[in-house]
């Protein structure tokens, strides 16, 4: 089969004679026809009326034309409970197989809500397990297109058993092959845990939902009233829970994002990401290669340390052709993560965002960045970090909800990573947050700073107030101009310690560079690090502070 929506051959107009060779072939074509149209015409019509595609239409949109090969299209359930033996459609409600995306092999499964509401039964689960095993054995990414109402109640505990089998495969595949989940409709109960175990989750605005228990159950148990969209809609999971990494405007947009995302990832953990043609260098040395666009970085950072700037302006001037694919864009916007290319090679980018909470790290930002760093490390993608962080966000809410433990995840992620790590400090790098954001002390390979960098225990104002507390109090008691003295002490602290040169003297940064040289410097650093080999001490696994 070359298309998920087009059956092989032409089905006969009348019942074939299966005792002849021609009849056997005609019977096969008839079965193909039944498998492709397993859902009723009415169910398909309802799906289209909601602005959604069918399971097979989604596969055709995802894969290269003519590349799809279906597996187990004739599989059917074996249940006889509640009269189920009278309704045994081919495929059992899920389409599985393999094909290519941009010429690269992938495995795929697509849940069919037009058959048994997409609910998971024994054979349905076995089909998914089989294609997952194939993906793991052959080292190719797997994309799951999800839309289903949970376990098939009529089949009882066997459905739960197959959920567990799928979850185990998700775990075994984690860090071995890229796993991407497309959430294309309502997913409830056990249907949502498999996507949560995958590397990336993509949802569609207004038409896709995920929740463990629906609004009706919540109202019955807790008395809360909530809509499907507020409880588990795509926007909720992209902005509040962080369970989703991208919000597609429609199904076409969601699938296009997945295809672009795959272009930055390798097929498995033993291979490298695809390499694209790099822009032609404009000079032999870093200085010779500086462009007018690069020079715009020289004036990007404001004179006032309290004035924000958009870190996207830095990122797009460093990556090839200014192309940056952001991940988790709507969640924890005080840190930016995503993929770009430098010299044609994939690179994962982590950056503080001064326009949001002044770039402070909080619980959500720490977990978002930690997850991304670990994903890059698992799949041989170098990590480029841009630092402008005044510290961790203060507040009882942060402390009581575990900023110590959850912020430590980011420390763990950087310290554990063995891929090339390059860090650029653009402005603030204060306190513990300096250490956390890809510092030399956590194992980063190349660290540089701009002359605007302020690498210190804390900002000058806070430091002056603490260090010179007694002197300021004495001045106040003596009737002196305290504010003038405070300004003088702040300036002295800035001149002495709030700069990149103290760190440079100690080798904590490898150099202080003009901002305009960043693109060239980063490219050369990553080029040098392509041959990096680093191994961790032997262990069963680490104990990240989950």
Asked if residue 269 is part of any domain, the answer here is no
Q: Are residues 250 and 385 in the same domain?
A: no
Q: Are residues 209 and 137 in the same domain?
A: yes
398 contact partners, CB below 8 Å, separation of at least 6: 362, 363, 392
Q: What are phi and psi of 373, to 5 degrees?
A: -60, -40
What's the pLDDT at 83? 65
For residue 138, the domain's CATH number is 3.90.226.10
How far is the C-alpha of 487 from the C-alpha of 10, rounded, in Å?
85
Asked if residue 211 is part of any domain, the answer here is yes
From residue 392, alpha-carbon distances to 44, 240, 255, 477 in Å are 51, 20, 36, 34
Q: Are residues 492 and 502 in the same domain?
A: no
Collapse the DSSP code of 126 into the 3-class scheme (helix H, G, I; strand E, B; otherwise coil) and give the result.
helix
Asked if residue 340 is part of any domain, the answer here is yes
Q: Are residues 352 and 478 in the same domain?
A: no
Asked if residue 31 is part of any domain, the answer here is yes
Asked if residue 536 is part of any domain, the answer here is no
Helical segments of 150-206, H only: 157-173, 193-196
What's the pLDDT at 460? 77
Tokens of 316: 């797009």
Q: Point out the domain boundary residue: 244, 262, 280.
A: 262
Question: HEC profile for 34-59?
Answer: HHHCCCCHHHHHHHHHCCCCCHHHHH
How far is the C-alpha of 204 from the C-alpha of 183, rounded, in Å?
7
Collapse the DSSP code of 149 into the 3-class scheme (helix H, G, I; strand E, B; otherwise coil) and give the result.
coil
What's the pLDDT at 510? 98
Collapse the DSSP code of 384 into the 3-class scheme (helix H, G, I; strand E, B; otherwise coil) and give the result.
strand
Closest C-alpha to 519, from 321, 236, 352, 376 = 321
Q: Are residues 94 and 48 in the same domain?
A: yes
Domain count, the chain: 3
DSSP 8-state symbol, 279: P
Sign of the dihedral through C-alpha 227, 228, 230, 232: positive
175 contact partners, CB below 8 Å, separation of at least 6: 269, 378, 379
Q: Are residues 252 and 394 in the same domain?
A: no
The pLDDT profile of the chain, 546 residues, written as one tens digit per residue, is 567 878 887 888 788 888 889 888 988 888 888 888 887 889 888 999 999 999 999 999 999 999 999 999 988 878 667 667 776 788 888 999 999 999 999 999 999 999 888 888 899 999 999 999 999 999 999 999 999 888 787 788 988 999 999 999 999 999 999 999 999 999 998 899 999 999 999 999 999 999 999 999 999 999 999 999 999 999 999 999 999 999 999 999 999 999 999 999 999 999 999 999 988 776 779 998 999 999 999 999 999 989 999 999 999 999 999 999 999 999 999 999 999 999 999 999 999 999 999 999 999 999 999 999 999 999 999 999 999 999 999 999 999 999 999 999 999 999 999 999 999 999 999 999 999 999 999 999 999 999 999 999 888 788 878 888 888 888 777 888 778 888 888 888 888 888 999 999 999 999 999 999 999 999 999 999 999 999 999 999 999 999
From residue 60, alpha-carbon distances to 40, 108, 337, 392 in Å are 20, 11, 30, 46
How far is the C-alpha of 12 from the C-alpha of 23, rounded, in Å?
9
Q: Are residues 511 and 436 in the same domain?
A: yes
What's the pLDDT at 473? 83
Indicate which residues carry an active-site annotation: 189-190, 432-433
Q: Are residues 369 and 507 in the same domain?
A: yes
Q: Point out the domain boundary residue: 242, 262, 282.
A: 262
Q: Are residues 243 and 319 in the same domain?
A: no
Asked if residue 301 is part of any domain, the answer here is yes
Q: Are residues 337 and 255 in the same domain?
A: no
Q: Are residues 86 and 226 in the same domain?
A: yes
Asked if residue 61 is part of any domain, the answer here is yes
Asked if residue 4 is part of any domain, the answer here is no
Q: Are residues 142 and 209 in the same domain?
A: yes
pTM of the model: 0.93
From residue 390, alpha-carbon distances to 258, 269, 455 in Å are 34, 35, 10
Expressed as residue numbers, the domain containing 475 is 460-497
How far is the C-alpha of 91 from the C-alpha of 150, rounded, in Å?
17
């Amino acid at each position: 089969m070359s298309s998920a929506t087009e059956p092989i051959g032409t089905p006969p107009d009348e019942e074939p004679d299966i005792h002849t060779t021609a009849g056997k072939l005609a019977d096969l074509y008839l079965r193909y026809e039944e498998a492709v149209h397993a859902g009723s015409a009415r169910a398909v019509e309802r799906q289209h009326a909601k602005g959604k595609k069918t399971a097979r239409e989604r596969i055709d949109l995802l894969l290269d034309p003519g590349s799809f090969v279906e597996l187990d299209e004739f599989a059917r359930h074996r249940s006889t409970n509640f009269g189920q033996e009278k309704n045994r459609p081919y495929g059992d409600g899920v389409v599985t197989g393999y094909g290519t995306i941009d010429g690269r092999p992938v495995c795929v499964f697509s849940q069919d809500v037009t058959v048994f509401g997409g609910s998971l039964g024994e054979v349905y689960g076995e089909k998914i397990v089989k294609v997952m095993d194939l993906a793991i054995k052959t080292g190719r990414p797997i994309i799951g297109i999800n839309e289903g109402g949970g376990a098939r109640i009529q089949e009882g505990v066997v459905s739960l058993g197959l959920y567990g089998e799928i979850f185990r495969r998700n775990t075994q595949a984690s860090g071995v092959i890229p796993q991407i989940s497309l959430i294309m409709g309502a997913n409830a109960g056990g249907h949502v845990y498999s996507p949560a175990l995958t590397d990336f989750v993509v949802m569609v605005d207004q038409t896709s939902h995920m929740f463990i228990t629906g609004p009706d159950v919540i109202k019955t148990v807790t008395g809360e009233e909530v809509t499907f969209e507020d409880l588990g809609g795509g926007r909720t999971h992209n902005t509040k829970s962080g369970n989703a990494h991208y919000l597609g405007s429609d199904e076409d947009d969601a699938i296009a994002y997945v295809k672009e995302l795959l272009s930055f990832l390798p097929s498995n953990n033993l291979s490298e990401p695809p390499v694209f043609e790099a822009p032609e260098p404009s000079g032999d040395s870093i200085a010779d290669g500086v462009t007018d666009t690069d020079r715009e970085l020289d004036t990007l950072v404001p004179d006032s340390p309290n004035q924000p700037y958009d870190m996207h302006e830095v990122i797009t001037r460093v990556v090839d052709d200014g192309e940056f694919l952001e991940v988790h864009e709507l969640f924890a916007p005080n840190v930016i993560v995503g993929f770009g290319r430098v010299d044609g090679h994939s690179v994962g980018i982590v950056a503080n965002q001064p326009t949001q909470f002044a770039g402070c790290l909080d619980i959500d930002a720490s977990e978002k960045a930690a997850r991304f760093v670990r994903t890059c490390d698992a799949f041989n993608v170098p990590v480029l970090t841009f630092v402008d962080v005044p510290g961790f966000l203060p507040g009882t809410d942060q402390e009581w909800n575990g900023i110590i433990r959850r912020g430590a995840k980011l420390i763990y992620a950087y310290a554990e990573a063995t891929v090339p790590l390059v860090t650029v400090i653009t402005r603030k790098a204060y306190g513990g947050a300096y250490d956390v954001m890809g510092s030399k002390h956590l194992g980063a390979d190349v660290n540089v700073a701009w002359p605007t960098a302020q690498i210190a225990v804390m900002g000058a104002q806070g430091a002056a107030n603490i260090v010179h507390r007694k002197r300021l109090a004495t001045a106040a008691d003596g009737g002196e101009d305290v504010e003038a003295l405070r300004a003088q002490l702040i300036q002295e602290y800035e001149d002495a310690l709030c700069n990149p040169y103290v760190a440079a003297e100690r080798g904590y940064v490898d150099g202080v560079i003009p901002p305009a040289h960043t693109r060239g410097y980063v490219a050369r650093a990553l080029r040098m690090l392509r041959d990096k080999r680093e191994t961790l001490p032997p262990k069963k696994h680490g104990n990240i502070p989950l």
